[in-house]
Amino acid sequence: MNPIDYVESVKERLSTDSIILSFDVIREFANLYEGFIRVRANLTNGDILDFSEFVKQEDELEVVSYRYQWLNQNKEHVRRWDNALHFPKLKNFPHHIHVKEEDVISGKPIDIFGVLDEIGKAMKK
């Protein structure tokens, strides 16, 4: 899969995922070497998912940078996954999760597909 196909697959997942009520693509670009997408999605429970991903094609497609911010109906922080370089002492640096605005735990590499799966599971509880 190249970056063009990846960005299209993200929009396809957003269009068909049962937890997504609607979404707006704020910015996107893609070519055979790199791609970027920024989206604000309204979830069926009234929550919001705001995210961006930058992907690059090397030997294989890689999500180079990401930020997925999940907010509740009151626009309060639920969870944020990102790989910004600001917690170097965490295991699996730079991947981390803000579980509360002030609490940060080690994360693992993730993409929008994994985030949507996690949010979907949490919404079913």
**113 three-state secondary structure:** helix
Asked if pLDDT for residue 110 goes beyond 80, the answer is yes
pLDDT for the residue 78: 94
| 100 pLDDT tier (thresholds 50, 70, 90) | confident
The model's pTM: 0.93
The tens digit of pLDDT for each residue in 35-91 reads 999 999 999 999 999 999 999 998 899 999 999 999 999 999 999 999 999 888 999
Number of domains in the chain: 1
Structural domain for 102, as ranges: 3-124
Tell me, what's the pLDDT at 45?
Answer: 95
